[in-house]
Amino acid sequence: MINILTNTYYIFPLPAKAGQIVELDMGCGKGKMALELAERYPDRLILASDIMMGRLGHVERAAARNDLYNILILRATSLALTSFQLPPASIDRIHLLCPDPWPKKRHTGRRVICTDFLCRLSRILKSNGILHLSTDYAPYFDDWEKILATIPFFEPAPEALKDVADIKTDFELHWLKKGIPVRHMAWRYTVKK
């Protein structure tokens, strides 16, 4: 079932069990990462979010075909999810893979990864939660490193991707086929007192 959160202004109650690891594949596309996580980690709750209903329908059908009952499909914008739709401190790891880089200079203001958005992520990440980012657009990757280095509650955590390094999304496979590398990074959310 696809949970429609678009234009709703309440906190969506996650059906996570006490102590259960919750991962969010934000902008999941056809859900390759979310589906692989759900299969690999049946004890975890995997959230697959996107705004495109066709993509979410694909995720829903694939989950049903493979008897994956630990995946929750959310139609929502990334900004709304981080701002108010997900409970505070509810996510252990966020995967935001190959978001639109908006490479034209006049479009850079449309990029999802910016200081404001990263601060919103801190609302939903649990302490020691992981932010996993990837992109095929090298300037965007370099910008992320610069931005994240200025935010005191994020620390580099490359070791946090060892268990998912072999998973390639459809976008990543597309770019790799064209000879364009896709770079990944991971940052740990640390609450400083």
Domains of the chain: 19-189 (3.40.50.150)
| Digit-coded pLDDT (tens) for 42-58 | 999 999 999 999 999 99
DSSP letter (8 states) at residue 86: S
Measured between alpha carbons, how far is 189 from 81 in angstroms, rounded to an integer? 17
Which stretch of DSSP H or E encloses residue 127? strand 125-135
If one counts every other C-beta atom within 10 angstroms of the C-beta of residue 167, the result is: 17
List of residues 6+ apart from 5 with CB closer than 8 A: 12, 74, 75, 76, 80, 81, 85
| Digit-coded pLDDT (tens) for 55-100 | 999 999 999 999 999 999 999 999 999 999 999 999 999 999 987 6
Q: Is the pLDDT of residue 106 over 90?
A: no
Measured between alpha carbons, how far is 87 from 126 in angstroms, rounded to an integer? 10
* Active-site position among 25, 67, 92, 100: 100
Q: Is the pLDDT of residue 104 over 90?
A: no
171 vs 125, residue with greater confidence:
125
Angle between the 32-40 and 53-65 helix axes, to the nearest 10 degrees? 30
> Residue 35: which of 167, 162, 130, 126 has the closest Cα?
167
List of residues 6+ apart from 193 with CB closer than 8 A: none
- Quick one: pLDDT at residue 114? 80
Q: What is the three-class DSSP state of 44? A: coil
120 vs 114, residue with greater confidence:
120
Q: Is the pLDDT of residue 113 over 90?
A: no
Longest dimension (CA), the chain: 46
Average of pLDDT values for 3-15? 89
100 catalytic? Reply is: yes
- Quick one: pLDDT at residue 97? 94
- Quick one: pLDDT at residue 108? 62
- Quick one: pLDDT at residue 157? 98
Average of pLDDT values for 156-181? 95
